[in-house]
Structure 1
Amino acid sequence: MPFRPRTAVSGAILATAAVLLCPAAPAPGDGATPSAQDRPSFYLEGAPGTVMNDRLSLRNPTGRAVTVRLRGSGAWIAFAAKEVTVPPRTRATVPFTVTVPRDAAPGDHPATLVATAGGPGSGAVERDAVPVHLRVSGPVLAALTVENVSVRRRGDAAVIRYTLVNRGNTALTPRLAVRADGLFGPVLRRALRTLPGRLSPGQSAELMEPWAGPPALDAVEVRLTVTADGGAHGSATASYTALPWGVVAGAAFLLAAGAGGLVVVRRRRRGQGPGGVRGGGPVSSAAGGKRPSEGEAADPAAELASTGSGARS
């Protein structure tokens, strides 16, 4: 495929003779000034198995040659040269290729081109990165979930924590809506709004929502709903029970006091004999000196037999 317009990385030599690379100030050609021909990032798209070509330009506007080392953030990227010396007041253009594996999943696969100058013997190390927005063609799946929702009290406020996970194969910009309902009705409503940043496929982000003025006494269900372009949708809930400390402490005191009174009454009853009189010793019955056990009825026939002569006819 033909080369696309080049992305230029320009810079200036510092007192330490290191290059400060800056993709936001591109330079289109040797000794020229920036123009619309240059881009601050790359966008490449191809099917699995495709090999794509492009070029990165490095500009050195100083009077000293500078050596720059190049690498890609992933195994798909390969430069024609890993190290380039840029002459004074000129620029060097370095081709690179992106080889998409045959088993690559469709969707977005972001990467980065990293240029490093300086190091041992030449001063401080300067590094810059150029984004590569790589998209593998094929069916696109937009899927987003919200997980691990929790609510924690912080003084007079509360914090809602949650995790967003991109479960699809395309980069997403999530939108979030928050609602909370208590026993007596709604206590929080936040309309759908776009969150800062994008989630790459498989990426997760732990986020939080401050909640000023939550109810002081209520049982609340908090629901978070997330959406994104392409039909991505997910929601999750968490329970939050708000109880003032005074109520908790009072209830605990009453429970402890009630348990103590019950123990005292049970101990007093346990030490009393029949009729409420404390016993001083074992009680004997008329039938052989043994008292029937509690709850056991006396057997008249047995008592009659025990008063006989003890002999049978």
Structure 2
Amino acid sequence: MRVARAAAAALLAAAGTAGPGAAAAAASPTAPAPGPARTAPAPAGWSATPAAGRPYVYLEGASGSVLQDTLSVTNTGARPLTVRLSGEGASIAFAVRSVTVPARTRADVPFAVTVPADTPPGDHQGSVRAGAAGRETVVPLHLRVSGPRLAALTVENVRVEPSGTLRYTLVNRGNTVLAPRLAVRAEGLLGTVLDRPERPLPLVLRPGERATRTEPWPDPPALDSVTVRLTAGAPGAAPASARADAAFASPAGVGVLAAVLLAAAGTATYAIRRRR
């Protein structure tokens, strides 16, 4: 939800001047219930989620703008609970830094996210944090800054280890979050020795992020010279590929080759003797 700068400025001003008494005014408790007559136990639990029960916070706006959302803090215990609020990875300001939530009550706390003027277009990540009763809840924050979008993925530093394991690095060179896919193919002296169609990887790359991964190859050739090519793709990004050359010469493969050469030499010697 985008708000005007004036409304956001008012929110931030309230965050800077709010004291203990302002916490109850800024956070709007709903559905209060009377507490028990006897002494209540310690708070049984609490939760913090974006308003309307969303799994994460999603905001979109231009660089230089101020965006607003609401965090719902629910106290399911039988005593009032004070929850501390903070943000990470973005310029986040809550209307209050902490809120005391009555028993069996929900408090809705507004917060504002300021997008710096030099923020590049694309997807950016952050989090909203709430802490109380010895634990912390982290709510992911996804921020999309409007402007030209570029999806770009590269494959780098491909190499084949002696065991056959393939090692490579994927780099997000664009300004959008990417979900990479990978295809692997290896050609030997006598043809294709490995062919794995494109498949999704259990990986998400944020803009500028890189990840070094390995691809198992449990049964590489015992004796061969191969060229391995890795091709990576992602929605909206052009396919990128890189290659590496490797030679395999395991003891078993060398032994087989020696036996074949000896057999060939013996056959040739026998043929020469027959001709003589």
Give the counterpart of 2:47 among 15, 21, 24: 21
Q: Partner of 2:189 in structure 1?
A: 183
Bigger shift: residues 168-177 or 188-197: 188-197
Cα distance change on mapping 1:20 and 1:212 into 2, 3 Å: farther
Choose between structure 1 and 2: higher helix proportion: 2
Matched, 1:136 2:172: no
More deviation in 171-180 or 64-73? 64-73
Q: How does 1:271-286 map to 2 (within 5 A)?
A: none
* Paired residues for 1:56-71 under 5 Å: 56-71=71-86
Which SS does the other structure have where 1:115 is aligned? strand
In 1: Cα distance, 2:205 partner to 2:166 partner: 20
How far the C-alpha of 1:19 sits from its partner, in A, is 4.3
Q: Which has the higher contact order (CA 8 A, sep 6+)?
A: 2
Distance 2:44 2:100 in 1: 12
CA contact (8 A) 1:18 1:117 kept: no
Q: CA deviation at 1:247?
A: 7.0
CA contact (8 A) 1:177 1:192 kept: yes
- Structure whose alpha-carbon radius of gyration is higher: 1
Deviations 1:88-131 (A, max 9, x none): 1101111100111111100001111111112xxxxxx2111111
Alignment of 1:92-241 (within 5 A): 92-118=107-133, 125-154=134-163, 158-241=164-247
Measure how far apart 1:232 and its partner are: 3.4
SS of the residue 1:110 aligns to = strand
Amino acid of the structure 2 residue aligned with 1:145: T
Percent identity over paired residues:
55
- C-alpha displacement of 1:166: 0.5
Counterpart AA for 1:167: R
TM-fit CA distance, 1:20 = 5.1
- C-alpha change, 1:247 and 1:211, in structure 2 (3 Å) is closer
Instruction: Report the 3-state secondary structure (helix = DSSP H, G, I; strand = E; otherwise coil) of the residue aligned with 1:199.
Output: coil
Partner amino acid, structure 1, of 2:207: P
Aligned-partner residue type, residue 124 of structure 2: H
Q: What is the aligned-residue RMSD (CA, Å)?
A: 2.4
Distance change in 2, residues 1:212/1:79 (3 Å): same
CA distance in 2, matches of 1:168, 1:73: 23
Q: Deviations over 1:174-222 (max 9, x none)?
A: 0100000111111000111111231110111121111121100001111
Q: Name the residue aligned to 2:28.
A: none
- Residue 103 of structure 2 is matched in structure 1 by 88
**Which ranges in structure 1 are unaligned for 5 or more consecutive residues?**
4-14, 29-36, 119-124, 250-313
Residues in 2 aligned to 1:221 and 1:148: alpha-carbon distance in whole angstroms: 14
TM-score normalised by the chain length of structure 2 = 0.73
Could you tell me how far apart the structure 2 residues matched to 1:41 and 1:115 are? 13
TM-score when scaled to structure 1? 0.65
Judge conservation of contact 1:216–1:244 (CA < 8 Å) in 2.
yes
Residue 246 of structure 1: how far off its partner (Å): 6.1
| Letter of the 2:168 counterpart | Y
Task: Provide the rounded CA distance (Å) in 2 between the counterparts of 1:162 and 1:247.
Answer: 27
State the Cα distance separating 1:240 from its structure 2 match: 1.5
